[in-house]
Amino acid sequence: MTFARHAPIDDREFIPRIPSWVTAARAETLEDVAFLSGAVLNHLHVVMGRGDVPHTLLRDRLALRAAEACMAFSGRPERAGELRDAVHLLRPGDLPGPVGDTCLTWRRAVQRPVSIKALGRALPTLEPDQIATWLDAGPQGGSCAPVRRAALVLEAVLTAAPRADVSALILADAALAQALGWDHLVPLLAAGLKQADLRKRGADLRLACHRAVSASGTEAVRLAADLARRAADLKAVAPKLRAKGAGDAVEMFLTRDAVTPAALPLPDRAARRLCDRLVDLGAVRELTGRDTFRLYGV
């Protein structure tokens, strides 16, 4: 199912937060935790149908957070800044290395609607038949509650390939998206799970997945609200930009977590001036804090 997109809303409206009775609850039993994760997913589903949310940008930023979590699972110290550098500062012919590869894998996973072909593009080491088999893990071809289905897929992949954290988490998020009727994968599980959770099985793993969805879903709603506001600010200043190609540049900022001036459809000098102008207008941020090799994003 594709989300029904509504017309842009009035500036006075805002994306409501998840009710405090959901975020403040301290549930312990599987039944209670499942109830709360369902409440979070319901709220997130409504948010994901809003026309003011920059959905592609949101997925790309959540993909970065998922990649960051996977780096931590593997014991590596790289965080968001290093992940961005590993992807956006690649020169032609360079190999991304394990850090960049993990980040690119997550980015590819969220770019296209969920399908066996799209997942195979993101996970080229897996055969399509294997992807299909894992996505159908669980009773009756995977027809069960969304988080339970995701947990079953996660367990199936990690049982067969204990070191395949990235593949397992991507396929679990894909199963969650399919069960919810979402057209694209929205990374939720990786950022909410702990390394020890990946060794759990059965009811313990389901409990961990429900908690992960509650935590990450809450953060996704907060991020969606923040990006919707920032996107509105960028669109508001767009008419003030006179550089040829500025419209296409704005669209890049609205769909990508980070952008280098060199990636913009303008000459190098004009691209740098445009980035500086957008920072001065408060429409984008410089993400690195460096004087050179800078990256910019909403």
pLDDT for res 115: 97
Q: What integer is the mean pLDDT of 1-9?
A: 47
* Distance spanning both ends of the chain, measured CA to CA: 28
- CA distances, 234 to each of 5, 79, 269, 292 (Å): 20, 27, 21, 24
Backbone phi and psi for residue 259, each to the nearest 5 degrees, phi listed first? -140, 140
Q: What is the reported pTM?
A: 0.91
Identity of residue 66: A
The token pair at 56 is: 């592609």
Q: What integer is the mean pLDDT of 18-27?
A: 82
Q: What integer is the mean pLDDT of 279-284?
A: 96
Q: What is the DSSP string of 38-83?
A: HHHHHHHHHHHT-TTS-HHHHHHHHHHHHHHHHHHHTT----HHHH
Identity of residue 56: T
Residue 6 has pLDDT above 60, yes or no: no
Identity of residue 33: V
Up-side HSE of residue 78: CA atoms within 13 Å toward CB?
23
In terms of C-beta distances under 8 Å and separation of at least 24 residues, what long-range contacts does 87-94 make, across chains too?
88/258, 88/259, 88/260, 88/263, 88/295, 89/260, 89/293
pLDDT for res 203: 96
CATH architecture assigned to 241-297: Orthogonal Bundle (1.10)
The token pair at 18 is: 């998840």
CA–CA separation, 179 and 149 (whole Å): 8
pLDDT tens by residue, 31-74? 999 999 999 999 999 999 999 999 999 999 999 999 999 999 99
Residue 107 has pLDDT above 80, yes or no: yes
The token pair at 209 is: 């997945």
